Amino acid sequence: MTSGKLRIMAIGAHPDDCDVKVGGTAILYARAGHQVKFVSATNGDTGHHQMGGGVLARRRFAEAQEAAETAGIEYEVLDIHNGQLLPTLENRWQIVRIIREFAPDIVITHRPNDYHPDHRYTSQIVQDSAYTITIPNVAALTPALEQNCVFAYMSDDFTKPCAFQADVTVVIDDVLDDKMRMLACHESQFFEWLPFNRSQGQVPDGHAERLSWLTERQAPRFASVAEKHRESIASFYGPERAAGARHAEAFEICEYGRRPCRGELYRLFPFFDGP
């Protein structure tokens, strides 16, 4: 790109998935002047124990917009029922159009082996779109991309049929507090639904207390990523920085789409000193 600015897209199944897996990296991109767009493939309208339907969908949309403002990014939420996402042609064409219109350098999504069907089908739809976005006669009213994107997966801990492999790991220590504020925007999830669904105990009332409570429960997830992929961190940041890294987000390059060489990874993830 002549401007040197990147266009980053993350497509998750629900209106907080990208925030959890890519939020810190997104904030780093945005602070450097790059354009970031999150997409939720569903409206999240079943993710609560006391409300649902249109009321919850509208609430989660508002939460996503607040999170986007906090991070300095764009957030689109598709109006597909939570738990009812299927890898249909109609949904594939919708994702094809969304990717083409944004024209990203890289698209990040779930891996296809995951506990949640919405996660799995989001991954399948994105994978099915990976080559299609370059075919002019598919969704012909939205111009096809002349060059395919790089596609990548968010990290997870699932091992069957294959485990996640970190091709790039981004240290997020400098923006961890900002990421926590981003997650806290999703009040219906992190302070209501998930504490109920996962028996996380009593949630405090005050804003500062809630943020501290959330950090205590969420930060270990990102510390685990850093610990598990410390060798990957060292390969990009060097051993000294890797030894001190506490929190990270990791990504695996998909075999579909454009396959970047290591030099291009430095361009796509401009957080390192260079090859």
Query: Does some domain include residue 156?
Result: yes
Percent of the chain with pLDDT over 70: 98
Question: Chain-wide mean pLDDT for the chain?
Answer: 96
Q: What is the structure's pLDDT at 274?
A: 64
Please state the rounded mean pLDDT for residues 131-146: 96
pLDDT tens column, 211-240: 999 999 999 999 999 999 999 999 999 999
Could you tell me if residue 230 is inside a domain? no
55 lies in some domain? yes
Is position 190 within any domain? no
Q: Is residue 152 part of a domain?
A: yes
Residue 4's pLDDT band (cuts 50, 70, 90): confident
Q: Is the pLDDT of residue 275 over 70?
A: no
Question: Does position 246 have pLDDT exceeding 70, yes or no?
Answer: yes
Closest CA relative to residue 111, chosen from 179, 159, 41, 183: 159
Query: Could you tell me which residues are beta bridge partners of residue 257?
Result: 150
93 belongs to a structural domain: yes
User: Residue 161 maps to which CATH number?
Assistant: 3.40.50.10320
Which positions ≥6 away from 193 have C-beta within 8 Å? 47, 48, 49
Q: Chain centroid to CA 77: how far?
A: 13
SS (H, E, C) 159-173: CCCCCCCCCEEEECH
Task: Identify the domain containing residue 107 by its residue range.
Answer: 7-171+249-268
Indicate whether 150 pLDDT > 60.
yes
Tens of pLDDT, residues 5-19: 999 999 999 999 999
Our measurement of the distance from residue 210's CA atom to the centroid of its chain's CA atoms, rounded to an integer in Å, reads 23
Mean pLDDT of 183-203: 92
Supply the pLDDT for residue 207. Answer: 93
pLDDT of residue 12: 98
Residue 166 resides in a domain: yes
Pair 232, 167: CB distance under 8 Å? yes
